[in-house]
């Protein structure tokens, strides 16, 4: 089975012993390896979970039982793993987590029927349909049928529209986690040059919108590069903050990174159980700060999901 979000959340990598600090300098004649500060996602995730747990308690005291429903179609091991992690986290935060598991041969109509049921249920505040669904189903159509106010992934077209217009709404979890991670480590973003490798709908595109918006934790000069820009490294090499969001293992090597830059590795690919990140670990020798191979943006993504869920519960119960 492929590693799950939970494994991402608790994992450490071979750089894990150097969290938050540079390597010690033995003596002034030694070769001094530079190792970047590690931007672990767990401290931020723990902080967000504590805040969410408080808000859930307040809702329960007011007679509202926050509920995050999940829908899984088929028998993909990795997807089932992701759902288990979310349910475990929901239980820890005192959410109810109704769940529907449809068989791999479920029809689009079966899926829409389940979604419509959760949409109509006033006791359900958040709803997520685990991606991917079997190939014969249309995930985008399913997503469009989710009530936008229950869309904890922040990926419903209405919510992406709200994001683009700067209107309040649930934010896509991975990009929101990246902005929050930079803020958590006091990394200035405003006025800096951010380069994002990848313009995918879940990551690069919404992140580029967010980091260009006018607020203290964003307000950057953002450039997005992709396969249409063959000399993309010309841009990444000048980035103060480089975000890898391509899903191409090892695409970012030290020579693509400006010395002293901050590197956020969000793109990953799985080969069986192995997680293969976009950012080669040797980039830690060039960057000033970098997310660990495991446990960087994974934990913050889950944290943002539950922040969206408690926001939805407060909003839909009239206690926002």
Question: Site residues (CB under 6 A) for ligand NAP?
Answer: 174, 197-204, 226-228, 232, 245-248, 251, 266-269, 297-298, 301
130 is catalytic: yes
**86 is annotated as an active-site residue:** yes
Tokens of 11: 């994992």
Q: Which is nearer to ligand NAP, 74 or 198 (CB)?
A: 198
Q: Which of 119, 182, 130 is nearest to 155 (CA)?
A: 130
Cβ neighbours, 10 Å, residue 53: 16
Instruction: From the candidates 153, 240, 278, 280, give the one annotated as an active-site residue.
Output: 153
The Cα–Cα gap between 298 and 291 comes to 10
Q: Mention every residue, 6+ apart, whose C-beta is less than 8 A from residue 251.
A: 197, 244, 267, 278
Smallest distance, Å, CB 49 to ligand NAP?
A: 16
Comparing CB distances to ligand NAP, the nearer of 16 and 247 is 247
CB of 173 to ligand NAP, least distance (A): 7
Which of residues 1 and 201 has its CB atom nearest to ligand NAP in the complex?
201
H/E run at residue 222: strand 221-225
Catalytic residue (choose from 76, 89, 130, 240): 130
Neighbouring CB atoms inside 10 A of 46's CB total 13
User: Position of tokens 């767990």?
Assistant: 42
Asked whether residue 123 is marked as a ligand-binding residue, the answer is no
- The answer to whether 258 is a known catalytic residue is no
**CB-wise, 301 or 316, nearer to ligand NAP?**
301
Residues 86, 147, 150, 151: which is the catalytic one? 86
Residue indicated by tokens 């994974």: 298
- Report the relative pairing of strands 37-38 and 289-290 from DSSP bridges: parallel
Residue 268, marked binder:
yes
Q: Is 84 annotated as a binding residue?
A: no
The residues carrying an active-site annotation are 86, 130, 153
- Binding-site residues for NADP(+) sit at 198-200, 268
């Amino acid at each position: 089975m492929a590693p799950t979000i939970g494994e991402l959340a608790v994992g450490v990598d071979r750089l894990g012993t150097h969290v938050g600090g540079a390597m010690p300098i033995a003596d002034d004649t030694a070769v001094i390896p530079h190792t970047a500060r590690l931007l672990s996602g767990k401290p931020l995730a723990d902080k967000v979970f504590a805040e969410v747990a408080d808000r859930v308690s307040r809702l329960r005291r007011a007679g509202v039982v926050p509920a995050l429903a999940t829908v899984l179609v088929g028998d993909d091991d990795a997807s089932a793993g992701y759902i288990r992690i979310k349910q475990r986290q929901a239980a820890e935060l005192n959410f109810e987590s109704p769940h529907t598991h449809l068989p791999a041969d479920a029809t689009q109509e079966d899926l829409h029927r389940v979604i419509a049921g959760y949409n109509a249920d006033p006791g359900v505040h958040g709803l997520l349909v685990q991606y991917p669904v079997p190939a014969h189903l249309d995930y985008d159509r399913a997503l469009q049928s989710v009530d936008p106010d229950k869309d904890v992934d922040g990926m419903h077209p209405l919510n992406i529209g709200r994001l683009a217009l700067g209107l309040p709404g649930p934010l896509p979890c991975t990009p929101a986690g990246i902005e929050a991670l930079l803020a958590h480590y006091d990394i200035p973003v405003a006025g800096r040059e951010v380069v994002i490798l990848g313009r995918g709908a879940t990551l690069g595109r919404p992140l580029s919108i967010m980091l260009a918006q006018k607020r203290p934790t964003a307000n950057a000069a953002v450039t997005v590069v992709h396969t249409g820009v063959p000399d993309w490294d010309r841009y990444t090499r000048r980035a103060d903050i480089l975000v890898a969001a391509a899903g191409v293992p090892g695409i970012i090597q030290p020579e693509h990174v400006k010395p002293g830059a901050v590197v956020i590795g969000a793109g990953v690919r799985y080969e069986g159980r192995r997680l293969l990140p976009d950012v080669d670990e040797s980039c830690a020798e060039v960057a000033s700060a970098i997310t660990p191979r495991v446990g960087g943006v994974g934990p913050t993504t889950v944290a943002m999901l539950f922040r969206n869920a408690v926001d939805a519960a407060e909003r839909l119960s009239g206690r926002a």
